[in-house]
Structure 1
Amino acid sequence: MTTKLEDKHAGNGNLVGEGQPYLGEKYQANGKPVANGREKILAKEDGSRRVGGSRGVLTNVIPHSYSEFREPELGTWIYERGKVVKMLAASASSFDVFRAMHLDLDIVKLYLKPLLIGELAPEEPSQERNKSSQLVEDFRELRRTLEAMNMFKANPTFFFLHFIQVLILETLAWLIVWHFGSGWPVTIFISCLLTISQGQSSYLQHDLGHLSIFTKSKWNHLMQKLMMSHCKGLSTSWWNHRHFQHHVKTNIHPKDPDIDMGALFLLGELQPVKFGKMKIKYIDYEKQHLYFYMVGLPLLMPVYFNLESMKVMCLQRYWEDIAWVSSFYIRHFITFGPFYGIFGTILLIYLVKFLESPWVTYVTQMSHIPMRMSKEENRDWLSAQVLTTCNVEQSIFNDWFTGHLNFQIEHHLFPTMPRHNYHKVAPLVRSLCAKHGLQYVNKPMLEAFGDIVRALKKSAALWMDAYYET
């Protein structure tokens, strides 16, 4: 296969040019090539190329099959309308992935530009031939329609009122313990208030992570630090890195960190069979749907998320996050320390996280664990998200309890859309899914809760069949 690249200086964000490493080399995190002894790509220069960084045409001869030209460290070369793009989150249409995660189209073009490595020769078959071009175009037309309807415009008042809700709950908890003392009935009651505050803080920081609610992004960044690190005691950088991977590669092994439960739970259909055939039995997986209630629900927040956040902050040296998280504990020691002491305040903090954990677990897992999990299938953006995500029926309580993440399909298709608009666009998404034969799953909340356990039980059965087969 032949690609043509304009020889421009890489420093200005343009295409790969003079002074850049061969396309076959590996890269370190700082962008420097790693010597690995791999065969380098042969390069041919035509007579139009000039020396000294002048513009010209560079022709690279690379293997005909893209499958021969993939390295896990580099990502995958993918196609976008005849162009070849290098991405770690490759396979879904590159434009749709970037467009989904960025509000500003100029930002999308800016990020895609240095990743463009060439164009397909006219005689080359497209690797995206299995995708429905009509479905892709219909989805892009839907997005253009929603943009024209201002569905991506956030209402600051909506989010300000939610912020006020958090402040009221935090203040009320302190006033109650100040007035009534720190007895067990009071402690349990204020723990419930603080749990609600923590839950709503999660949704607000989630909004701030996806949206540009404020005119200047630095204020968005500051407010997310306030809500996630100061109000919840978790690293914002850790959450953003993990969460955005989940959005780009939902339910895809091994790219979605949210379906990596280590040795504790086996999810989907592929992982249980793999473990079973390899005779792996770290835990009695046939009972995983039962110990989910004893381990998964109560320990996700106070143990797993907390330890993971702290580990990443320390190893990656996120000093800003460490300072913000420290302010979370300092604030609690100042406000509740006089009533409970240092040890009692720590117990109060983790009691709140313990109470919040089932809430967070159910809301985050009910829309994905029961849905399709697979390896990379190179699907279009619409199909990839609809097949791996489901909705929960709308009601005033469901909207509040889930932070409008009961509209998980719309949220995954349009992560930068403010949540107060999900219910408005849901009928249009449902209609598009019906047109192209995609199942748009929408279920009652209690059924969604139960489906988590039923999915774990199904995966356990697959593991048993593979493990005990002769």
Structure 2
Amino acid sequence: MNPDVASIRKTHARTGGPNPHGASEFADLAKIVKTAGLMRRRYGYYWTKLLCVPLVFAIAILCFVWIGDTWWQMFTAVGFAVLFTQTAFLGHDAAHRQIFRSGRWNDWISLIVGDLFIGMSYGWWQHKHVRHHANPNRIGADPDIDLPVVAFTPDQANRPRPPLLRWLIAHQGAFFFPILLLEGLSLHASSVHRVFQRRHVDRRPVEIAFLAVRILGFLALVFLVLAPEKAAVFLAVELGLFGFYMGMAFAPNHKGMPLVPASVELDFLRRQVLMSRNIRGNRFIDVLMGGLNYQIEHHLFPSMPRPHLRRAAPLIRAFCLDHTVTYTETSLWHSYGIVLRYINRVGLGERDPFECPLVAARASIGPPVT
């Protein structure tokens, strides 16, 4: 049995609730991290990236126009997909207040980078992502485990659905990564839908204007340069690979980690560490995943600048080891295997062989801890 399973069971059996020492433990960890200077802003790093974004976009657009109406532009579509995803990672950093001390400055960078350069609503993404960070893998609270086309719990898999969708859910392990090819289109559509809803949206006119310039402007550029059939394929390649890249970067972080029943409360340290998975690797992996490979560090300290995550990882790993809190880390390819096996089991209706590690003497569903 994984060490965290036994320790948390004992804690809940003894106290009937979260670890009473959890708050003080996290305070001790936060002091270690702050003393090491890991919450210090990295203005040089981020200003370099912020200045490079419009420059690289301008170069990419000029190259696209210069290459002209040819099928070779499909390679350009790949480049745009990578560029959009890497820029989205920068917007993610700004939304988490990693760049500036000023919340207002971070908000505007998020709006400019997210809405104007990527075509994703900052307001929509923030509303969704804040709920995820507050309750990662918590049933009924984390929007990232409540999706219309993928089931993460047996209850979700058993919901009444049309026959075709029920069949897809039953075989979702085979379709999970192909479905990611639609994620780019979904992100744009969800963003547009959000800013036109009646519910409150901060800076709605700005978001609508930025999204219109980005989405309509990019469509106009593609169809002006390319013949209609080439333009359609170009957009399919760019949107498909953008969504696939985004999905491949976010999927390993929590999928296949323990699920938290709605009735269970955990201290902040365990709530973030036990539900998150780090991806082992070198600096290339850091760049490839935009720092999301340090998911444990990011969830514990969301406003920690991305360059400090690598330095923070050994400190936090050692702290978790000293406090018998399981720190999960694996390779990128192994993490994808875990995700596929887990969602395939759920889709096939198999009860997970591990009891949820967060509850003693209570029947719960949860994926195995790796």
TM-score class normalised by the smaller sequence = 0.7 to 0.9
SS of residue in 2 equivalent to 1:227 = helix
1:459 aligns with 2:343: no
| Cα distance, 1:172 vs structure 2 | 3.0
Matches within 5 A, 1:29-108: none
The structure that is helix-richer by fraction is 2
Per the alignment, residue 53 of structure 1 pairs with: none
| Cα distance, 1:431 vs structure 2 | 1.6
Select the residue among 138, 145, 151 that pairs with 1:266: 151
Select the residue among 169, 173, 177 that pairs with 1:289: 173
Query: Number of residues paired by the alignment?
Result: 332
| CA RMSD after TM alignment | 2.7
Tell me, in whole angstroms, the C-alpha distance in 1 between the residues paired with 2:161 and 2:101.
55
Contact 1:411 1:417 (C-alpha < 8 Å) held by counterparts = yes
Tell me, in whole angstroms, the C-alpha distance in 1 between the residues paired with 2:215 and 2:125.
19
Per the alignment, residue 246 of structure 2 pairs with: 360
The amino acid across from 1:381 in the alignment is F
Deviations 1:321-365 (A, max 9, x none): 111101103442565454137896676445322111111111111
Deviations 1:177-216 (A, max 9, x none): 333322011x112112211110111110000001152354
Aligned-pair identity in percent equals 22
1:249 aligns with 2:132: no
Matches within 5 A, 1:43-442: 130-185=17-72, 187-211=73-97, 213-262=99-148, 264-268=149-153, 271-272=156-157, 275=158, 282-284=165-167, 285-294=169-178, 296-302=179-185, 304-315=186-197, 316=199, 318-332=204-218, 335-340=221-226, 348-376=234-262, 377-442=264-329
| Cα distance, 1:165 vs structure 2 | 4.3
SS of residue in 1 equivalent to 2:23 = helix
Which residues of structure 1 form unaligned runs of 5+? 1-126, 466-470
Contact 2:154 2:347 (C-alpha < 8 Å) held by counterparts = no
Tell me, in whole angstroms, the C-alpha distance in 1 between the residues paired with 2:348 and 2:325.
27
Q: 1:333 to 1:266 in 2, by over 3 A?
A: closer
Deviations 1:215-270 (A, max 9, x none): 543222221111100011111100000011000011111111111112x2211455
The amino acid across from 2:48 in the alignment is L
Contact 2:297 2:313 (C-alpha < 8 Å) held by counterparts = yes
Q: 1:128 to 1:157 in 2, by over 3 A?
A: farther
Tell me, in whole angstroms, the C-alpha distance in 2 between the residues paired with 1:286 and 1:333.
36
Tell me, in whole angstroms, the C-alpha distance in 1 between the residues paired with 2:184 and 2:245.
10
SS of residue in 2 equivalent to 1:266 = coil
The amino acid across from 2:74 in the alignment is I
Tell me, in whole angstroms, the C-alpha distance in 1 between the residues paired with 2:187 and 2:181.
12
> Which one has more relative contact order, counting CA pairs under 8 Å at least 6 apart?
2
The structure that is strand-richer by fraction is 1
Contact 1:242 1:257 (C-alpha < 8 Å) held by counterparts = yes
SS of residue in 1 equivalent to 2:38 = coil
Per the alignment, residue 8 of structure 2 pairs with: none
Contact 2:170 2:349 (C-alpha < 8 Å) held by counterparts = no
Tell me, in whole angstroms, the C-alpha distance in 2 between the residues paired with 1:139 and 1:237.
30
SS of residue in 2 equivalent to 1:170 = helix
| CA radius of gyration, larger in | 1
SS of residue in 2 equivalent to 1:362 = helix
The amino acid across from 1:301 in the alignment is G
Which residues of structure 2 form unaligned runs of 5+? 1-13, 353-370
Tell me, in whole angstroms, the C-alpha distance in 1 between the residues paired with 2:154 and 2:27.
32
